[in-house]
Amino acid sequence: MTGIMDSVEMPKLPENQKTFAGIPEAVFLEEIDTFMSQPENENCEKVLQRLDEQHGKYRFMACNLEARRRKLKSQIPDLERSLEMVNVLRKEDEERETQFLLSDQVFIKTLVPPTKTVYLWLGASVMLEYPLDEAEALLNQNITSAVGNLKSVEHDQDFLRDQITTTEVNMARVYNWGVKKRQAATKTTATTPA
């Protein structure tokens, strides 16, 4: 049951790509002065605006990834439970008396005969009967692909978070650079008139 999270590897990244979703990389500013002296960065406000826009885009991607991750995270335990159930059914070799939930608060006694088949929900209100072995194989396959997907989503999330943090630091640096520039400017105007 556990161990599946460790045994399934993350799928291979597309060639020359750092992420599955092709997230653009945020550029780290090695030298703020050099960066700001580039012709397109002459206006501090504009640079900030551009970074802010980029930041917004990253956040949007982060939301999407988070939604995907949450969905997968809830799918996996469901699949695991189904798989567990298949294994329980396989071990049953005589009729078992049990109760099942008929509707809210109402349980009903029933006899469950041993079975060789099980019904799986396939989604979209479709349920299909499978022999136990096939059900197990199908569930295993679904779990493996869900875990693989989860791992790639988490990989992308990590990468994206790096880009967001880098962009935030860039914004702070550009902003401070602007403040310093203005301070220096007022200082010169204050001292020159004499």
Partners of 175 in the β-ladder: none
* Site of tokens 């750092």: 18
Q: How far is the CB of 130 from other proteins (least distance, A)?
A: 22
Q: Which is nearer to other proteins, 137 or 181 (CB)?
A: 181
Residues sharing a CB contact under 8 Å with residue 102, sequence separation 6 or more, in sequence order: 108
Closest to other proteins by CB, 5 or 122: 5
Smaller CB separation from other proteins, 42 or 187: 187
Question: Residue 88 Cβ, how far from other proteins at the closest point, in Å?
Answer: 7
Q: Closest distance between other proteins and the C-beta of residue 44, in Å?
A: 12
Q: How far is the CB of 157 from other proteins (least distance, A)?
A: 8
Farthest-apart Cα atoms in the chain, separation: 104
C-alpha–C-alpha distance, residues 137 and 87, integer Å: 12
Helix axis angle, 44-91 relative to 132-191, nearest 10°?
Answer: 160
Strand extents, DSSP E, 44-194: 96-103, 106-112, 117-123, 126-131
Q: Which is nearer to other proteins, 117 or 165 (CB)?
A: 165
Where do contacts with other proteins occur on this chain (CB under 8 A)? 1-2, 28, 30, 55, 62-63, 66, 88, 96-98, 157-158, 161-162, 164-166, 168-169, 171-173, 175-176, 180, 183
Amino acid (1-letter code) at residue 165: T
CA distances from 28 to 31, 74, 153, 168, 171 (A): 9, 36, 24, 11, 11
For tokens 């989860």, the residue is 150
Give whichever of 74 and 189 is closer to other proteins, judged by the CB atom.
Answer: 74
Q: How far is the CB of 65 from other proteins (least distance, A)?
A: 11
- C-beta of 106: minimal distance to other proteins in Å? 18
Helix (H, G, I), strand (E, B) or coil at 12: coil
Q: Which is nearer to other proteins, 132 or 164 (CB)?
A: 164
